[in-house]
Every structure is written in structure tokens, then in C-alpha cells.
Structure 1
Amino acid sequence: MKTTYRIPAPYAQQFLNLADSFVCESPARPERFMEKMKRNRGAVAGLTQAGLDENGLERKNPVIVALGDSVTAGHFETLLPKDPEALRAGFERMLRGEEAAPVEITDARESYIEKFRLALIDKYEQTSVSVLNAGIAGDVLPMMCKRADRDVVRHDPDLILINGSLNWDDETMGDASAYKSLLKGLVQKLKAETTADIILLTPNGDLPNDLLEPIGIPAKEVTTPARCEAIREVAREEQVCLADVRAVWDQAKEAGIPWEALLSNGVNHPSVEGHEVYARVLMKLFED
């Protein structure tokens, strides 16, 4: 199902302009990945031998794995019914594991992962690159750590993106220090078990989730800013790349752009333009 939500004018262009003018202050750049993208130029290995690896095999195209939640997976507008009884019935079916109607639009065509892949192709025109989308809606960092071997390490990636902070629950998982400890452990594991460059992403802006208030589930206080700072600290301490998307959203708020207009579901899913901002901030890491 295709997303139809777009940021109203004039906010859309203002938002994109902020991404274009954003100054990247990442502690590191994806140097190894960039070099591989430059070298992987499609030489005919069978004729030149230039493209064979140490085992005499054709060189492997660069592989990116994106680990994340619904934003990475490409989720947009909510489809939840506004009638409390219908909402309650659908929610109960989901809790029982029964088949239910979709609760939101999923449009991987418009996800930042796809936009990032296309931007890389524009920059490195002679290189094929594969992107594995390991974003799962509703997922949280503890579960991402548990599935890191299955969804990341075994693919021998050249670049890893980690974007998993929006669904964290302080009441059940701990504060920002607990989040930081988990994220740092994950980064250290991936550094030890892969040769990939790692990019940590701060998330898009989010607002209190009131989608289930009609059935008595209150919106919780937003605590994402503390985790954003934890992500920045881990990037500095582990000397990995940082795509500080949240900084652009904060600039938008300071410029008077309401976050409500930037979110396709009114809570935490960026619009198509918001995914474009993600991609443009990521590409800042590849500037000369």
C-alpha cells in the first residue's frame, strides 16, 4: 500500500533545506565502505583477474544491513479505526496472534533505506550495492541485540546502520544509561565480529503516542532526547559514524515547523520527505 501523506507547504521545502545545510560532525567516516564502493567497478575478473578475491572468487558486491524498527521497515500512516469498540476488537485480535487488518501503511519504496541506496548509486555509478532491510515494526533495542547474529553478522556486511531508539520504554527497560549500555555492547560485538563500518542514527522527532487512548491506554511521556544523547556518546566513545537526524528535526522545531506536520502517523513515523531527510543526512558522511 502506497503512502499518500505529504508535508504541507511551505514546511516540506524548508525541512529539506535544513537537511541540505546540516553540518555533519560525525566522529568517523565510513572509510572502508567508501573505498570498497570506489574499487568495486565491475571489472571483468575472468579476463583481468583484477576482481578476484584471495580465494579466487569474483569480488563480492558491497552489502549494507540496516537494523531498526518500523521507520527502517518503511511504515507510514496509521490505519487504526477511530471507533473505540472496533479499535479494541482489533487490538485484542493482535494480542491473541490472530489475523487482523493492517494497522498502518507499509511502503518500502519510500523508506530512507531505499532513498539512501539510490543516492549511493548516484554517487558511485559503476558499483552495484545490496541493502538488507532488517527493520521490524515495533522492535526494540534488546531484541535487535538478540537477532544481531541472524540478521546482521551472518551476511558479512560492509556497512551497518543502527536506528533503534523510538520504541524504548523507560518503565520496563530502564533509563538512557541502560539504553547506552546495550547500544555500546552491540556496537562492540559488531566491531569484533564483522569488518563493517558502522553508522549510528539518531531518530526522527516523535510525539506522545495517543493512538490507543480511545481504549484506555494513555500516551506516555516522550523520553527520546536522552537516548539521542546516548547515541551521540556511543559514537564518540567507539569512534563510529554518526548520522544525527534528530539534530535536523530539532532545527526544524526551532524554525517554527510543527512536528505534527512532519509525521505521517502523528506520532513517530516520518513522512516521505522525512525519509528523504534521513537519506540526505546519511549522505553527508560521504561528502569529500
Structure 2
Amino acid sequence: MSSGKPLLPYHPTIQEFLHLDPNQEGVHHQIQDMSANSSSAYNFSLGSDLSNCSSSTLFSKPLTISINIARAILILPLAVIILHLACQRWKKRGSLTDASNCDIFTYHLAVMELLGNDCTIDLAFQSYNEAFSLLKVALITPLTFIILYMAYQRWKQQGSWTAESHCDVFTYHLAVMELFTILGTAATLLGYFSRFKIMVLVGMNFDAVPYSGETLFHDLTCVERYLAVVHPLTYRGLKTARGVRIRNVMIGCVWLLSFGWMLVRSLRSDSLQAWG
């Protein structure tokens, strides 16, 4: 039923776009029919497809909802607490110039988690997810390269990272994870607007790497800070060669789990199987 108002320009969702047959006549008519048959056709959710694998072609809805709720429960309170501590420190000292580089990076990461959380995006910015994805990449890219440049400078000065604090090393790996987010988002948007399906699939799989890895690195950072404050003797013991080996093993496990998640997503994607 037409309400008499002109429909907004319709863009197919990632799922709809991947299932359109480019060899079939009247692809544009398919898109127009989708728009006419849906009163909320323009409220598509590209951003959630890019960042958190919430595609119905990948997972069932209950599993997707459970993952997003668990992520929100774990990350949101932690991000709010970190920003509250930063605000308290700023009020007490008037600035954050005396804070360690690791603390500054942690504050910025907390802001990014608030910006990137699906619960925030899907509720408030559902119609503007492409713009949000571009804004997120624009904000993350400079900070990521600054962190990696500082890591490179320290490596040149010291010859290795064995003397680095565990928190700093976790931050460097988080920055590398963000590179996958940048590349994945760029590839997905480029493929989406150029109607190139394979590029969309590659970008979505790239973006799956930091989905679990970032959360795990945040967890390791929290454990490291907890040991430093509550169990200082145990924390000093982790600064030895044995502690460095344990840290490297945990980092390797995080990367394996991250790439494993990407592989699972690739195998379970109906769209990817259609290209086989």
C-alpha cells in the first residue's frame, strides 16, 4: 500500500545484494520491488554486517543475539569504568599529560569500543551505517599508525620487545588487529558500491579477524592490570623470561582463535558456498 509519500532511495542489504543474480534481466527492477514491498526498506543494516557477522546467512538469530548481548555485557561496563577513571584522573590533576602512554591508548580504545558497539549503532544509527563505517575508519587509522610507529621506534632502540610491559605489547597487537578492520571495511564498502560480490565477501571475512581478537586482547590487558595492582609479587614474576614466554603463547592463541573465527565464518557463509 502506498502512503502517498515518495520512498527514499533503496539500497539492498549485504545479504540481498549477494543473492542478486547479475546475469538475470531486470536486476534494478528486483531492487525496486524490494523497496515497494518493504515499508522500512531504507533502514538497512550494513554496519552490523561489516563488523559483527550478524548476517542471517551466517548464523541463526538466537546465536547472533546471544553473541552481541555477551559482547555488550563484557565490553560496555569495562569501557564506562575506564572512561570514568580517566575523568577522575583528569579532574584531580587538571590534565592527562603525566599519564603513561599505555593508559592514554587504553582511554582511546575505550571510546572506540563505545563507538563500535552494535547495541549503540543498531539502535541509534541504523540508517547511517555506511557513513559510520567510514567515520570509524577515519578515526581509527591515524591512531593505529601512530601506535605502530611508536612500537617500531622502541624496537629500534631496544632491539627487541622482551623488556616491554605486557600491556604495551597487547596494545601493539590490538593496533595490528585494527588494520584488519580498516582493510575489511574498505574492501566491503568498495565492493558493495561497485557491486563486486567477491570483494564484499573478502572484506567481511577480513573484518571477522578482530571481532573476537580485540575482545581477548582487552581481557588480557585487564588481567595484566589486575595482577599489577592486586598481586604485585606474581606480576613481578611475569616480567622474567618465563613470563615473556607465557605472554607470547597467549598472544599466539589469540591470533589462532581470530583466524579460526574467520575460517568458520567463511565455511558457514551460504553466499561464499554459492560461488564455489
The normalised TM-score by structure 2 is 0.26
Q: Which has the higher contact order (CA 8 A, sep 6+)?
A: 1
Say which one has the larger Rg: 2
The normalised TM-score by structure 1 is 0.25
Higher helix share: 2
Higher strand share: 1
